[in-house]
Structure 1
Amino acid sequence: MSAGAAETRTFLCRSDNIGVLIRDPRTGACAAIDVPEAEPVLRALDETGWRLTDILVTHRHGDHIEGIPEVRRATGARLTAPEKAREAVPDADVYVREGDRVRVGDLEAEVWETPGHCLDHVAYWFSGAEIVFAGDTLFTLGCGRVMESPPETLWRSLQRFEVLPDATQVFSGHDYVLSNARFALAAEPGNAVLQARAAEAEHARDEGRFLVPSTMGAERDTNPFLRAREPALARAVDLPPGDSAAVFVALRAWKNRF
């Protein structure tokens, strides 16, 4: 798949992690976003013929960094990790924080700190290619589980994505699309666009595909956690419309029990 000046390759790791490669076709530089498991990343590199130059870590959880040592030994890739994950990823070449920029060849990404799922989480926004790597903050039809912060922290992080163009491709860290679709339909059953998106997810499963990447336009239309301002979502959690943060908190708590 290509997007602007970038090429991408997605594949499953472990049981439901999404592995991603992004490549600059002009220079040949290529980055893996996290390494949940080494073998699928190395296989994707072999299949594409791409040469890995970089690894960009979104957060410190083991299911995102477990395969890094083996892949670095095989490729010599430079490792970039969040500054706040320094203890968990002590051997990175570069540590980044809010507002820093990273390059993969001629492709440039801005680093966003997006806490909520965990305190050290970052996202990588490649504006020139209209690609964002959201890790476990924003999923297709869903969002990450809150683990180390008040849920309002994750709500504020999700608002960062609202500035992105509709065409932006959103790469998330897991394929939770079917379970997210079931919850989204329970929360907003009258959303016709969501109904079609859920049917698309079922069709993709039957074909052995997954709906990653999504687009910001699709998420704005169908993701309940980005739609907390909608009166229908407030009604779904028995709250008056207007306090979108409170609606989000209630939706996230409901999803935890779903």
Structure 2
Amino acid sequence: MIKIDALPAFSDNYIWLLQDLDARRCAVVDPGDAAPVLAWLESNPGWQLSDILVTHHHHDHVGGIARLKAASGARVLGPAREQIPQRDLALSEGDRVEVLGHDFEVFEVPGHTLGHIAYYQPEHHWLFCGDTLFAAGCGRLFEGSPEQMHRSLSRLAALPSQTQVYCTHEYTLSNLRFALAVEPGNPQLAERFQQVSAWRSEGRISLPSNLALERATNPFLRVEQPSVRAALDARSGQAERSPSEVFAQLRAWKDNF
């Protein structure tokens, strides 16, 4: 049995901790800071950190790798097209890798960075997507193009509705504020905003999300919806756009929101 918890890091990062409760082995995803992981291992004696999964090269996702590998000898998995410290296994599109007895599929999802990957476990529908897809939002385009990011998000959005979205930042509430500016008449969005607002006021995490909820409330997955297009029409007066152009204008709007 696998249990998944979030270890908070920095101001709004989450390091996902996967725990094999039978074997007392664990894996972490995107450990930008070693301290939360080492603290958990210290408070849970007898556990072995076996794997470190990395989605992309940004420091807040890789900064803890060296200390964790030195302390545990864990295997480091990461994208083949990026420089990942102490990487043992370079992963590309279509690869499959076993972690804690479960097979994960590797997707290349460029946009936030050019070599960004996501890990998908098809039996349990777990998606570890780094900074590509966020709850109610998506990552900034630091290296890739809007076309690349739109394709990456469309690919993730096509996964089964029950897929659990384990992204790596607590951005949900601010993302929902933007989503409401885009679609103020979306009742599911209004309900989600109220729920997440209550959770955050109680200090509760807003993750994981799921793809059914994202398809209903995330404007970056709704670029073909008339309500989203109408919001952009009202801002620019332009009525004809491809889906990737809608995405690009939404992302530019969010960048300055």
TM score, norm. by length of structure 1: 0.93
Aligned to 2:244: 245
How many angstroms apart in 1 are the aligned matches of 2:228 and 2:43? 44
Q: Which moved more, 1:46-55 or 1:76-85?
A: 46-55
1:36-185 mapped onto 2 (5 Å cutoff): 36-47=32-43, 50-85=47-82, 88-185=83-180
1:237 counterpart SS class: helix
Q: Gaps (5+ residues) in structure 1?
A: none
Amino acid across the alignment from 1:39: A
- In structure 1, the residue corresponding to 2:221 is in which secondary structure? coil
Q: Residue 257 in 1 paired to residue 252 in 2?
A: no
Q: In structure 2, what is the equivalent of residue 31 of structure 1?
A: 27
Q: CA deviation at 1:109?
A: 0.4
Cα drift, residue 242 of structure 1:
6.8
- In the TM superposition, residue 34 of structure 1 has moved relative to its aligned partner by 1.0
Give the Å deviation of 1:91: 2.1
CA shift for structure 1 position 249: 1.0
AA paired with 1:188? E
Q: Is the 8 A contact 2:159 2:211 kept in 1?
A: yes
- Relative to structure 1, is the Cα distance of residues 45 and 220 closer, same or farther in structure 2, using a 3 angstrom cutoff? farther
The aligned amino acid for 1:114 is V
In the aligned structure 2, how far is the partner of 1:97 from the partner of 1:56?
13
Contact 1:29 1:104 (8 Å CA) reproduced: no
Confirm or deny that 1:204 pairs with 2:189: no
Query: For each residue in 1:177-210, what CA deviation from the matched residue of structure 2 results, as whole angstroms up to 9, or x when unmatched?
Result: 1110110000000011001111111111111112
Give the alignment's TM-score, normalised by structure 2: 0.93
The 10-residue stretch of structure 1 (165-174 or 113-122) with the greater mean CA deviation from structure 2? 165-174
Structure 2: which 5+ runs fail to align? none
Q: Which amino acid aligns with 2:184?
A: P
Q: CA RMSD in A?
A: 1.6
What is the aligned-residue identity percentage? 44
CA contact under 8 A between 1:220 and 1:226: conserved in structure 2?
yes
Match status 1:16 vs 2:15 = no
The letter of the residue matching 2:256 is R
Larger mean CA deviation between 190-199 and 235-244 belongs to: 235-244
The CA distance in 2 between the partners of 1:182 and 1:163, in whole Å, is 25
After superposition, the C-alpha distances for 1:25-45 in whole angstroms (9 at most, x for unaligned) are: 444442100111111122233
Deviation at 1:74, TM superposition (A): 1.7
* Aligned residues of 2:62 and 2:85 also touching (Cα < 8 A): no
- Structure 2 letter corresponding to 1:202: S
